Structure formats: structure tokens, C-alpha cells
């Protein structure tokens, strides 16, 4: 059975409907090609959730697929309608919990999570194997299994552990959705809506994460922010902020020029496929070329525009003062040294970290 790790109930909101089918444009990163396809044919693997070794507790090998299709995906549809309704600002406790579950399932059901789990196990097995061999031991124990070096090579052990970790992931990851939802139970929601002709992308890894404070990208930290494109028009941010009331949806209007940073994060964190429209792809790559320009003058122009067009507030005043001081240096000197450019970047980043900490502590 072919099973979607990015569900069709999510992908259809980026698609064009023809008859009973939904079609999207997909950009394949590795070969830089764009093509149209039915959402039935992307972000899916054969028997991704199928449980091979059924037991007394799990008699149905398709139970995980059924939980998604009958329970969690209808929950996502309800959450999507709430989040993309511009008139909804207040949520009930139940609606907040459903949003958390229906969004975090997109994070934990993704193959990238399984790949990460397997990579951790493989690294631990390799380190343990080297240690045991160096100390003259005749075997090792891992995941409650004993492996004799007479009977098992390191590759045999890795294959066994990979299979066991995969089976455990299939059975346990639904519980992981509950755990991460509980950890972020009091997170806040911000739904950005685009004003203009830009569009949000999504990808085969639609739930992107960003953490200014913790470089380990641990999802169980209050500093972690999660972003997910809901449709070409709407994007959701899940974050912790002690100044935002609980059960409230913050609804900023996002200028077209600000969409690029979100799409850049989606593109960067995509595994293989990015989903969007052809005009949106063309616009994104044009902007990317501009941003990749290492010349100082275009970046100074951006700083100058920010200072001219935006009025400082309590949250942005310090950063804008830093930008203004370095812009004054540039205007006096006609340039900024590489050291000065680096110092400006670090000062602004440290202010952002300071601001973030004040909102979560």
C-alpha cells in the first residue's frame, strides 16, 4: 500500500483541481527541474506506516494509516478552516489542542524524523562496536539484543538495529505527536496572510523549524519556532511568547517582499521536492540570485530602505539603531570593512536572541 507522509489533505490546498484529482507544480532540487504531477504521486512511500510484526496489542498492520486517515487528517481539515478564516481570532482549549496535534503530526510523520532516529542509532552502534573490539570483547548488547562478533558483522548489527528502530518508530511515533503537543501546549499561533502577488511554498518536509538560541535544533525547547505554509496565501508560526494571550490567533498582513525569507527556509529544509507555482518559483530564484550577491552596496541599500520605510518600535528600536550607526559609518567611509560587516551582523543577532529570551523566560 502506498502511504503519504505528507498527506493529500494538506497538499490539496496548494493544488489545482481537475475532476476528482489535484495537481501541483513540483521543483526537484537536486536536478533543478520543475514538473506538474498528481498529489497522489508525491511525498509517499510503499508501506511507510505498515506494521510488519503485528502483536496482541496491534492486530491490524494498517492501524497507523487508519488513525491518520480517520482521526488526525479530519482534525487537520478543521484546524485549516479555523486558521485561514480571517474573522477567527479566539480559540477554545479544544481547538488549540487540535491545531497542535494536526500540525505536529506533519513534523513527526516525516521520513526525515525516521532518518534522524536511525542515524543516531547507527552512530551509537559504531562507537560501541569500536570500543568493544578495542577492549577485546567478543560481542556487544544494544537495544536489549546480544550480538556475538562471531555471528554478526558490524553491517549485520546495523541492519538489525535499523529494522528494529524503524518498527519502533512506526508503532511509537503517534505517541511522540502527543508528547511534543503537550510540551508546546501553551504555544501561540501567528497566521500571516500575504498582501500582493507573492505565494508561499511548501515541500516534502513542510514543517520547518528555526531556533535563534539553541543550535542543536531540539524540538523540545521553548526557543524553537515552527513554521508551516498552510496554502499559497497563508502561513502559520507556532512559537512561545509570554506577551501574547493564550488561545488567540495573531494575524499580521505580510507584504510580498517579506515572503522570500519564509520560502528560503522552506527551500533550504526541503529534502527533495518543493511545491509551488511556476511564477512563484521564477520569482524566488530571481530574488535568490540577488541575495547571493556578496557586494556590499545591495545590502546597504536594503538597510537604508528599512530605516526609511519602517518606524522603530519597542521591539525594533535597538536593532534599527545598530543599523543606523553602521550606515552612518558607510556613508562617511564610503565602505565597511569585512570586520565591521561581521560586527553589525553579530550585534543584530545578539539583540534578536536577547529579545527572544525576554519573551520565553
Task: Check: CB of residue 241 under 8 Å from CB of residue 359.
Answer: yes
Residue 185 has pLDDT above 80, yes or no: yes
Please give the pLDDT value at position 56. Answer: 56
Cα 238 to Cα 21, 36, 203, 250, 285, distances in angstroms? 31, 31, 18, 11, 27
Residue-wise pLDDT tens digits, 209-251? 888 888 777 888 999 999 999 999 999 999 999 999 999 999 9
What rounded mean pLDDT belongs to the chain? 90
The closest of 286, 259, 271 to 26, measured between CA atoms, is 271
**172-180 long-range contacts, CB within 8 A, separation 24+:** 173/108, 173/109, 173/113, 174/64, 174/67, 176/108, 177/72, 177/101, 177/104, 177/105, 177/108, 177/109, 178/101, 180/104, 180/107, 180/108, 180/219, 180/220
Lowest mean pLDDT across 114-123, 269-278, 319-328, 346-355: 346-355
Residue 55 has pLDDT above 70, yes or no: no
Measured CA to CA, the distance from residue 289 to residue 285 in angstroms comes to: 6
List b or e across 184-213, with b for residues whose CB sees 16 or more CB atoms inside 10 angstroms.
beebbbbbbebeeebbbbbbbbbbbbebbe
Please give the pLDDT value at position 59. Answer: 63
Per-residue cell: 324 = 543606523
For the ranges 92-101, 253-262, 277-286, 327-336, the one whose mean pLDDT is highest: 92-101
Per-residue cell: 260 = 522570500
Please give the pLDDT value at position 290. Answer: 63
**Tally of CA atoms within 13 A in the half-sphere of 65 that contains its CB:** 16
DSSP state of 56: S
Task: Compute the average pLDDT of residues 12-40.
Answer: 93
Task: Compute the average pLDDT of residues 24-36.
Answer: 91
Query: Would you report the helix, strand and coil content of the chain in percent, each value rounded to 5?
Result: 50, 20, 30
Lowest mean pLDDT across 55-59, 83-87, 173-177: 55-59
- How many helices and strands, by DSSP H and E, does the chain display? 11, 15
Please state the pTM of the whole predicted model: 0.85
Please give the pLDDT value at position 239. Answer: 95
Residue 358 has pLDDT above 90, yes or no: no
pLDDT tier for residue 286 given thresholds of 50, 70 and 90 = confident
One-letter-per-residue 3-state SS of 305-347: HHHHHCCCCCCCHHHHHHHHHHHHHHHHHCCCCHHHHHHHHHH
Task: Compute the average pLDDT of residues 99-122.
Answer: 92
Please give the pLDDT value at position 96. Answer: 96
Residue 57 has pLDDT above 80, yes or no: no
**Rounded percentage of the chain residues whose pLDDT exceeds 90:** 58
Residue-wise pLDDT tens digits, 149-162? 999 999 999 999 99
Residue 275 has pLDDT above 70, yes or no: yes
Please give the pLDDT value at position 217. Answer: 73
Cα 6 to Cα 120, 157, 241, 292, 359, distances in angstroms? 23, 31, 29, 30, 32
pLDDT tier for residue 86 given thresholds of 50, 70 and 90 = very high
Tell me how many degrees the CA angle 196-197-199 measures, rounded to the nearest 5.
Answer: 110
**Rounded percentage of the chain residues whose pLDDT exceeds 70:** 96
Amino acid at each position: 500500500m502506498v502511504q503519504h507522509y505528507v498527506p493529500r489533505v494538506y497538499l490539496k490546498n496548494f493544488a489545482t483541481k481537475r475532476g476528482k484529482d489535484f495537481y501541483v507544480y513540483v521543483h526537484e532540487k537536486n536536478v533543478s527541474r520543475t514538473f506538474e504531477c498528481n498529489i497522489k504521486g508525491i511525498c509517499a512511500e510503499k508501506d511507510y506506516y505498515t506494521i510488519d510484526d503485528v502483536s496482541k496489542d496491534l492486530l491490524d498492520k494498517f492501524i497507523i494509516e487508519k488513525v491518520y486517515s480517520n482521526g488526525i487528517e479530519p482534525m487537520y481539515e478543521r484546524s485549516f478552516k479555523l486558521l485561514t478564516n480571517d474573522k477567527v481570532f479566539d480559540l477554545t482549549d479544544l481547538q488549540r489542542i487540535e491545531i497542535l496535534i494536526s500540525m505536529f503530526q506533519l513534523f513527526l510523520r516525516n521520513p526525515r524524523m525516521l532518518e534522524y532516529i536511525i542515524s543516531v542509532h547507527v552512530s551509537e552502534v559504531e562507537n560501541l562496536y569500536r570500543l568493544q573490539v578495542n577492549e577485546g570483547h567478543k560481542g556487544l548488547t544494544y537495544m536489549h539484543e546480544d550480538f556475538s562478533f562471531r555471528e554478526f558483522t558490524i553491517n549485520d548489527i546495523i541492519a538489525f538495529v535499523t529494522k528494529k528502530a524503524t518498527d519502533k518508530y512506526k508503532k511509537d511515533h503517534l505517541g511522540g505527536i502527543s508528547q511534543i503537543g503537550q510540551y508546546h501546549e501553551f504555544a501561540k499561533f501567528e497566521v500571516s496572510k500575504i498582501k500582493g502577488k507573492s505565494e508561499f511554498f511548501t515541500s516534502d518536509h513542510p514543517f520547518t523549524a528555526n531556533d535563534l538560541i539553541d543550535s542543536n535544533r531540539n524540538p523540545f525547547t521553548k526557543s524553537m519556532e515552527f513554521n508551516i505554509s498552510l496554502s499559497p496565501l497563508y502561513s502559520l508560526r507556532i512559537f512561545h511568547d509570554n506577551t501574547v494571550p493564550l488561545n488567540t490567533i495573531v494575524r499580521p498582513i505580510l507584504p510580498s517582499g517579506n515572503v522570500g525569507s519564509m520560502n528560503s527556509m522552506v527551500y533550504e529544509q526541503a529534502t527533495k521536492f518543493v511545491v509551488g507555482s511556476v511564477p512563484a518559483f521564477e520569482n524566488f530564484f530571481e530574488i535568490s540570485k540577488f541575495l547571493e550577491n556578496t557586494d556590499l552596496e545591495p545590502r546597504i541599500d536594503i538597510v537604508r530602505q528599512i530605516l526609511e520605510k519602517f518606524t522603530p518600535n519597542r521591539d525594533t528600536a535597538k536593532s534599527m539603531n545598530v543599523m543606523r550607526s553602521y550606515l552612518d559609518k558607510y556613508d562617511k567611509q564610503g565602505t565597511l570593512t569585512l570586520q565591521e560587516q561581521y560586527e553589525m551582523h553579530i550585534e543584530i543577532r545578539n539583540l534578536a536572541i536577547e529579545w527572544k529570551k525576554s519573551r520565553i523566560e
